[in-house]
Chains A and B, each alone.
Chain A
């Protein structure tokens, strides 16, 4: 009952004309930018962050939620028509979606992606509504030691357990943590790693890192390695309508994928990559038409797209209730909160209930807006896709530099941006994951603060992390996550040798 009241109150906030307008602008801009090839949700959110500097927090965050969702919807259009997945979470969609488009079934592919995203997004938002207050109840009991242990868990899963290589994941994480150290120490006010440069005293902004890695790095990579390759775009021929059979094959996939995607979003599993592939595998296994997989099976689009959106919503559970980002995009969203001096966490649900519930309510509204925006108006977004690449990247870099420059009106930030661009180029080329660096930058300083607070309370006794049951549990699970796969691998190689 309490939740329902809070949610209704949230709708009252989200449906005020001004906030509705911000939501609408958010989903529109998010879709328009998300459609651009090579621009994933993380970059979309980072590039559009400067748009909101002068807005009030509720309006700005509602707009950001819209951008976040819009970028997901827009990205699926690009993936299906161009076969250039903007991010790893879209690869599974590209497998079947682009094949469908090649066979002249682009319309139904886009439709099942959009409707599936809507269905999954709405159910996941409902789950978020129900789950968030419960997590808040638990999180209110957390002290600094528990938070620190939870953050160590998040670092470990994002960097070391997931991904193709533990060493490269950790390298990315430690780079992010190093960047996070730059600036004024929040506990003592001592400058660290700033070398007397005023722009560095403020710390490294997540926008500069994300835009540098994703926009500048991507532009350098694409120009150097793919600019001379021909491009093919599939046309939308025929109707957007899904046939009766398309519906029958899509909806079980949407529901199953929601069930897979949402839980994966709520745990620190590094975003939507795993649930989308898992959903793809499940659909392939359960489908009555397994022979169509690889040639354009509609379940292969419906499932991963729904899983992607459900997990994107699931990510908001730890972000809003604990202040812990579990994907690169969530880390940037957390940066947006921090720009307003807001620290998401259980207390936010009490001190700024309007803002949190307004934001959650706006997710329901945003899903509806996006369905309307993406189905009948898909023709407009296809026009955006036709921008030639020289113009496209020229425009992206004009926006990318704008975001960095607007921080201090200083060229130093532009130099930092370029350095991160080089880093992003190398990471892309050498298969080093980017998300741990972005998460490390934003979560590192928070973890340090909790670590030192916990030790202050315990008068410097480091055993505090092991004597508190919740904290000890998190650390034990973290240790198991590292040790068990390693042992299994050792056993496998030992048996392989025999």
Chain B
């Protein structure tokens, strides 16, 4: 018998989402016009589906574990590397916080450096410089050539005077 806490947690997560969807659906209108069903009908079906599948997964997880789970090939994985996971998450959150304020280029450079750190690179300054160069190139390409609107942020004076 193999019981995995993660499988149980994920199954419970699906069940929880189903319960949440049920609550939200309860507040939707059932006014249906000619069809006789309103905007709440399909959400109710989906909520019910999530509840059933969540219960099914939970049962599998408790009764011998999820079925037919492909095991990773030998040597294809190592133990969970928490710092790597958190470096990438931190990079994405820093990017979220910075992009509207410091601008696309600087946020991109920080993200790049954090992700590189997560993948084991230790040359932080070089990575940041590479990230800066890449984000700047992407910025110029998208803003100038494709007319996509991206925030210049703190670099506005610099980019503005360069005609970008």
User: Within B98-113, which residues are at the interface with A (CB < 8 Å)?
Assistant: 99-100, 104, 108, 111-113
A188-B39, A224-B81 as given contacts; A167 in contact with B67, CB under 8 Å: yes
B90 to chain A, nearest CB (A): 11
Q: Is the CB of A165 within 8 A of B77?
A: no
| Neighbour of B36 across the interface among A219, A410, A460, CB < 8 A | A460
- Across the interface, do B89 and A220 meet the contact criterion of CB distance under 8 Å? yes
A220 touches B116 (CB 8 A): no
B75 CB-CB contact with A under 8 Å: yes
Residues of B within 8 A of A192 (CB): 24, 28, 39, 43
By a CB distance below 8 angstroms, the chain A residues around B69 are 164-165, 430-431
A459 touches B34 (CB 8 A): yes
Q: Are A170 and B43 in contact, with the CB atoms below 8 A?
A: no
A401, A431, A444: residue with the most chain B Cβ atoms closer than 10 Å = A401
> When the two chains form their complex, are residues A394 and B99 in contact, meaning their CB atoms are under 8 A apart?
no
Q: Is A135 on the interface with B (CB-CB < 8 A)? A: no
Asked if B81 and A227 sit within 8 Å, CB to CB, the answer is yes
Stretch at the interface among A1-9, A173-181, A249-257, A325-333: A173-181
Asked if B93 is at the interface (CB within 8 A of a chain A CB), the reply is yes
Is the Cβ of B96 less than 8 Å from the Cβ of A228? no
Taking chain A's interface residues, is the majority helix, strand, or loop, or is none over half, making it mixed?
Answer: helix
- Alpha-carbon distance between A391 and B135 when the two chains are bound, in angstroms: 13
Smallest CB separation, B51 vs chain A (Å)? 9
A201 nearest CB across to chain B (Å): 14
Q: Given the complex of chains A and B, what is the CA–CA distance between A394 and B124 in angstroms?
A: 12
| Nearest chain A CB to B82 CB, angstrom units | 8
- How far apart sit A53 and B147, CA to CA, in the bound complex (Å)? 9
Q: Which of B128-150 contact A (CB under 8 A)?
A: 130-131, 134-135, 138, 142, 146-150
| Segment among A123-131, A348-356, A411-419 that sits at the interface with chain B | A411-419
Partner of B108, one of A165, A398, A430: A398
Residues B116 and A223 in contact, CB atoms below 8 Å apart: no
Interface stretch among A262-270, A272-280, A447-455, A466-474?
A447-455
Inter-chain contact B118/A223, CB cutoff 8 Å: yes
Roughly how many angstroms separate A178 CA and B28 CA in the complex, as a whole number?
14
Find out whether the CB atom of A53 lies under 8 angstroms from the CB atom of B14: no
Find the residue from A391, A399, A418, A455 having the highest chain B CB count within 10 A: A391
Interfacial chain B residues near A175, Cβ < 8 Å: 14, 17, 50
Q: B149: which A residues are within 8 A, CB to CB? A: 406, 409
B92 at the interface (CB under 8 A from A): yes
- In the complex, are the beta carbons of B148 and A50 less than 8 A apart? yes
- In the complex, A409→B101 CA distance in Å? 12
Query: Does any Cβ of B come within 8 Å of A185's Cβ?
Result: yes
Contacts of B113 in A (CB 8 A): 394
Q: Is the CB of A430 within 8 A of B36?
A: no
Docked CA distance A457–B111 (Å): 52
Q: Is A223 within 8 A of B81, CB to CB?
A: yes
Task: Give the residues in chain A near B29, CB-CB below 8 Å.
Answer: 188, 190
Of B46, B89, B120, the most chain A CB neighbours within 10 A belong to B46
Chain B residues numbered 6-28 whose CB sits less than 8 Å from any CB in chain A: 6-7, 10, 14, 17, 21, 24, 28
Chain B 26-61, CB within 8 Å of chain A: the 1/0 string? Answer: 001101111111110111001101100110110010
> Given the complex of chains A and B, what is the CA–CA distance between A286 and B104 in angstroms?
56
Given contacts A188-B29, A192-B28, contact A460 B37 (CB under 8 A): yes
Chain B proximity of A327: nearest CB distance (Å): 20
Nearest B residue (CB) for A411: B96
Interface members, chain A 29-55 (any B CB < 8 Å): 50-51, 53-54
CA A398 to CA B77, docked complex, whole Å: 25
Given B57, B138, B148, which contacts A167 in the complex, CB threshold below 8 Å? B57
Please judge, given known A-B contacts A54-B148, A178-B17, whether A219 and B88 are in contact too, CB under 8 Å: yes
Interface residue? B84 (CB, 8 A): yes
A54 to B113, CA, bound (A): 30
B156: interface (CB < 8 Å): no
Residues of B within 8 A of A418 (CB): 89, 92-93, 96
Q: List 12 A-B contacts (CB under 8 A).
A: A54-B148, A164-B67, A168-B57, A188-B31, A225-B81, A389-B119, A390-B120, A394-B112, A394-B131, A402-B142, A460-B34, A460-B35
Closest 5 CB pairs of A and B: A460-B36, A390-B116, A390-B121, A394-B112, A455-B35
Interface residues of chain A, those whose CB is within 8 Å of chain B, are 50-51, 53-54, 164-165, 167-168, 170-171, 174-175, 177-178, 181, 185, 187-188, 190, 192-193, 216, 219-220, 222-229, 388-391, 393-395, 397-399, 401-402, 405-406, 409-411, 414-415, 417-418, 421, 426, 429-431, 444, 448, 451-453, 455-457, 459-460
Additional A-B contacts beyond A390-B118, A393-B116, A411-B96 (9; CB < 8 A): A171-B57, A219-B115, A219-B118, A220-B88, A224-B80, A226-B77, A406-B148, A451-B42, A460-B36
